[in-house]
């Protein structure tokens, strides 16, 4: 297994099965800090910088919370408009990250351009953590999701994963990459104009990821152990910021999960994950069902990111 020390976390495409379980093992070791709400001092000599060029609630704050939980220091920006990258100068990633690497020991970046974290990593000698790049990848979210499934179901193998939503979405790319390392089948449901891109399908085939496409959630939800959702009423992830202007569309029932659908068609043991934020694809009445796990998923984001920070900074081997 490759060492995590000093490593950039850009994609899950090259992660081995052992590497997933090593991260989850460290997460279990550190989990008590979040559970007991007691900060430790494992990273007291280290500093995290968060460089967020796109809005975020969960990813930035849970990464920062993870660093605080381990006694580390945090600085950064959550709106690039307040930096020289977002004003008249449009400062490049190269110039920005050549400096930022001097200001911290690890940098977490979210960007509206696919590949921006990899570009930043070229100019930074400290580890870069991809916290979402355009439509590209969202590795820390999917590590959180897999960790949640492992805690809830005791295994990542032998499960059928129903993926619902916009398949151009970065979480969908990262989870499909990850499933190649497990004995898992994915059923993919999306509107036709949001389906898996041919080039990405070729990538999945090359990685021996088992997946098939279906037209409608009600047709296949009864097969699912894990229901993994994203909106189909979506923002454009290539933009630095998308404001809501007027009315938004409604999610067709083919891509929606409701409490009634769960009661009548889903396995009683199935669980629902959603990286959030949601629109109307996941109705509020699902929150009261035995199936919802998205709040614990969001909470686990702190735990998983503690593990990643400890590993890339060498506080855990």
Judged by the rule CB under 6 A, the positions of this chain that interact with ligand CP are 56-59, 132, 141, 275-276
- Cβ 144 to ligand CP, closest distance in Å? 8
Query: Degrees (nearest 5) of the Cα angle 137, 140, 146?
Result: 105
CB 75 within 8 A of CB 103: yes
- Cβ 171 to ligand CP, closest distance in Å? 7
Helix ranges (H only) for the chain are 17-35, 58-69, 93-100, 116-122, 139-153, 170-179, 198-206, 217-220, 259-265, 294-312
Choice between 128 and 316, CB closer to ligand CP: 128
- Cβ 141 to ligand CP, closest distance in Å? 5
Choice between 44 and 241, CB closer to ligand CP: 241
Choice between 8 and 297, CB closer to ligand CP: 297
The structure tokens listed for 173 are 């790319």
Choice between 32 and 81, CB closer to ligand CP: 81
- Cβ 158 to ligand CP, closest distance in Å? 26
Choice between 69 and 110, CB closer to ligand CP: 110
- Cβ 180 to ligand CP, closest distance in Å? 22
Strand partners, 162: 187, 227
The rounded distance, in Å, linking the Cα atoms of 82 and 85 is 8
Choice between 3 and 57, CB closer to ligand CP: 57
Sheet containing strand 271-274, edge to edge, reads 210-214, 184-189, 159-164, 226-229, 271-274
Name, in order, each residue with C-beta under 8 angstroms of 158's C-beta and a sequence gap of 6 or more: 183, 184
Choice between 132 and 180, CB closer to ligand CP: 132
Q: Within a 10 A sphere around the Cβ of 274, how many other Cβ atoms?
A: 25
The structure tokens listed for 58 are 């969960």
> SS3 of 132, please?
strand
- Cβ 61 to ligand CP, closest distance in Å? 8
- Cβ 110 to ligand CP, closest distance in Å? 7
The structure tokens listed for 3 are 């060492």
The rounded distance, in Å, linking the Cα atoms of 44 and 208 is 42
């Amino acid at each position: 297994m490759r060492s995590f020390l000093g490593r950039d976390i850009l994609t899950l495409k090259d992660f081995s099965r052992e590497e997933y379980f090593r991260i989850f093992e460290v997460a279990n070791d550190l989990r008590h800090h979040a559970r007991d709400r007691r900060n430790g001092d494992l990273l007291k000599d280290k500093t995290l910088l968060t460089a967020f060029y796109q809005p975020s609630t969960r990813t930035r704050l849970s990464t920062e919370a993870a660093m605080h939980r381990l006694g580390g220091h945090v600085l950064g920006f959550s709106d690039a408009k307040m930096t020289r990258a977002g004003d008249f100068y449009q400062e490049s990633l190269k110039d920005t990250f050549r400096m930022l690497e001097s200001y911290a020991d690890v940098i977490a970046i979210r960007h509206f351009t696919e590949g921006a974290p990899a570009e930043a990593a070229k100019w930074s000698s400290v580890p870069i953590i991809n916290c979402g790049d355009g439509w590209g990848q969202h590795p820390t979210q999917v590590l959180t999701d897999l960790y949640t499934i492992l805690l809830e179901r005791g295994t990542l193998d032998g499960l059928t994963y129903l993926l619902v939503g916009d398949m151009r979405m970065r979480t969908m790319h990262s989870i499909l990459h990850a499933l190649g390392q497990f004995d898992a089948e994915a059923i993919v449901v999306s509107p036709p104009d949001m389906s898996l891109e041919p080039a990405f399908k070729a990538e999945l085939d090359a990685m021996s990821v088992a997946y098939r496409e279906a037209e409608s959630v009600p047709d296949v939800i009864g097969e699912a152990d894990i229901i993994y959702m994203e909106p189909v009423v979506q923002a454009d992830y290539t933009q630095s910021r998308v404001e809501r202007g007027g009315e938004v569309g409604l999610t067709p029932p083919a891509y929606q999960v409701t409490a009634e659908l769960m009661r009548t068609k889903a396995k009683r043991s199935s669980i629902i994950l959603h990286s959030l934020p949601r629109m109307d694809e996941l109705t509020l009445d699902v929150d009261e069902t035995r199936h919802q796990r998205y709040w614990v998923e969001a909470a686990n984001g702190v735990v998983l990111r503690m593990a990643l920070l400890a590993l890339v900074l060498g506080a855990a081997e």
